[in-house]
Amino acid sequence: MTKDLRINPDRMLGAFNQLALIGATGDGGVNRPTFSEAHLAARQWFREQIEASGLEFHTDGAGNHSAVIPVVARERSDRSNLRHDNGIASSQKTLLATTPTLLLGSHLDSVPSGGRFDGALGVMAAFEVLRTIKDAGIKLKFNLEAIDFTDEEGTLVGLLGSAALAGRLSRQALQSPRGGRPALVEGMKRAGLSEESMLSAARPKDSLAGYLELHIEQGKRLERAKIDVGIVSAIVGIASYRLSFIGRADHAGSTTMEDRLDASLGASAFTLAAREVVMKDFPNCVVNAGKMEFEPGAFNIVPARVDLALEFRSPDEEEFKRLDSVLMERAKEEAERFGLELGIEFLGRHSPSLMDTKVQHTFADVCNDLGLSHMSLASGAGHDGQSFDGLCPVGMIFVPSADGASHSPREFTAWPDCVNGANVLLQTVLRLAG
C-alpha cells in the first residue's frame, strides 16, 4: 500500500549529518556560500551519493545538481531488467524535455556562517523521497527529480539556479548581481560554468509538472502554536538596492560639525527612518540595512561615502511597489537633509508569489492522514518556488524551527519534525504523481 510507505529516517539522518560536516564552522553551523570550496565540495558529495544510490544524476548549465527517476528509463529498465545508473546525460536531456517532471528541491548553499538545516534539509528529504520510491518500485506518471539549486541564498544573485531553469534569468541580473560582478565571474569560473551556460539551463514550460519543497520555518509560529507542519500560502517578494550616500572626506578633528558633509549621517538617518516607516505604515513588511561600507573608512576622516545594502520584503505586490517608492523617496530626503548626493543602484527583485491551492489541500489531507497537526502560513523568507510562479503548481511545507533561529549556527529542528516533513513530502508526491 503506497499509503503506508514512509521514508527511511536513519538513512536520511546519516546523509544529513555527513552533509553538515562539509563547511562545518564548529559551532553547529556551516559556511557554504555559493561556489565556495565548501559549497562545491557539498555538491560533489551529493553527486557521489546520487550515483551510489543507483538514481540517475543530472546537472545543467546553471550548476543545479539532481537525482532523477525518469519515467521512460524505468519502464525500459523494467522490461530489460537493466540498471540505468550512469551514462544517461544525453538520453535524459530528451527525456526531461519530453516528459513533465515533478521537481522536489532546495539548496546546498548557505549564507555566510549559516545553519545546517536551511536548504540542506529540503535537498536531503527530496533525495530520501526518491530513494524510498525507487526502492518500493513505484511507477509515477511524471519524471521525479530531487534538485539542489544554485545560489538560492543570494550571496551572488539569489534564486539563481531556479530562475535559470525556469527561463527567467536575465543577462541584467548577471551583470549587476548583488554579491558583485567580480565574485560572480570568479565563482562561475571555479564551478566550470559561464554566463552562456547559465542562460542555457532553461527548460520548456511544459516540461515542469510542479515544484515542491520542504524547509524549516525560520520563524517561531509553528513552535509557539505547537503545530507539526506549516503549509505555505505565499512567499514574500524581495527587493535589493545599493544606496550610496556621498559627501566629502575631511579632517575629523579640525572640521566643525556644521561644515561636514558626513555620508554616515544620511545612511544612519535613513536606516532609522526606514524602520519607523515600515513599522507604522507597512506592518506586513520588513526592511533591512544588512551592510554599510564606509569610505575612506578611518577613525580620523569624515566619511565621504557610505554604500548601504538595502533589502525589503512584502507578501503583497501592491504594497511592495508602494514601499519601494516610499523608501526611495525617504532616502532622497535624508541625503538632502545632510547635504549629500544619493546614488541608487537597483540589484534585483523577486515578486511575491502565491502557492498552488490544490497542492496546499493535498498537503493538508496528507497531514490529516499522518495524524500531523498543520496550519497555513506565509513565508517571510525567499525560496526557489518563487521562480516557478505562474509556470507550474508550486507548494511548500515548513517544519518547526527551535526558537525561530535561522541564518545562524543556532538553527535547529528536532529530527522527528524533519522526518514528519519528509513523509508529508513523500505522500504528497504519491498523490500528485501516483
Name which of residues 32 to 71 contact ligand GLV (CB under 6 A).
none
Find which of Mn ion, ligand GLV, none residue 382 binds, CB within 5 to 8 Å per kind: ligand GLV
The count of chain residues that interact with ligand GLV, using the rule CB under 6 A, is 4
Q: Compute the least distance from the CB of residue 218 to ligand GLV, in Å.
A: 7
- According to the binding rule CB under 5 A, does residue 148 interact with Mn ion? no
- By CB under 5 A, which span of 60-68, 74-82, 119-127, 162-170 interacts with Mn ion? 119-127
Terminal Cα distance for the chain, rounded: 12
- According to the binding rule CB under 6 A, does residue 382 interact with ligand GLV? yes
CB closer to Mn ion out of 133 and 394: 394
- According to the binding rule CB under 5 A, does residue 411 interact with Mn ion? no
CB closer to Mn ion out of 301 and 402: 402
- According to the binding rule CB under 6 A, does residue 153 interact with ligand GLV? yes
Cα–Cα dist 255/62, whole Å: 52
Do the beta carbons of residue 71 and residue 143 sit within 8 Å?
yes
- According to the binding rule CB under 6 A, does residue 179 interact with ligand GLV? no
- According to the binding rule CB under 6 A, does residue 163 interact with ligand GLV? no
Residue from 63, 105, 119, 177 that binds Mn ion (CB under 5 A)?
Answer: 119
Nearest to 119 by CA among 185, 183, 33: 33
Cβ neighbours for 397, distance < 8 A, ≥ 6 positions apart: 213, 214, 215, 229, 230, 231, 232, 363, 421, 424, 425
Find which of Mn ion, ligand GLV, none residue 417 binds, CB within 5 to 8 Å per kind: none
DSSP-assigned beta bridge partners for residue 293: 307
CB closer to ligand GLV out of 47 and 407: 407
Q: Compute the least distance from the CB of residue 150 to ligand GLV, in Å.
A: 14
CB closer to Mn ion out of 53 and 110: 110
Residue from 381, 419, 425, 430 that binds ligand GLV (CB under 6 A)?
Answer: 381
Q: Compute the least distance from the CB of residue 90 to ligand GLV, in Å.
A: 34
- According to the binding rule CB under 5 A, does residue 118 interact with Mn ion? yes
Q: Compute the least distance from the CB of residue 21 to Mn ion, in Å.
A: 19
CB closer to ligand GLV out of 289 and 381: 381
Q: Compute the least distance from the CB of residue 153 to Mn ion, in Å.
A: 5
CB closer to ligand GLV out of 116 and 131: 116
Residues that bind ligand GLV (CB under 6 A): 153-154, 381-382
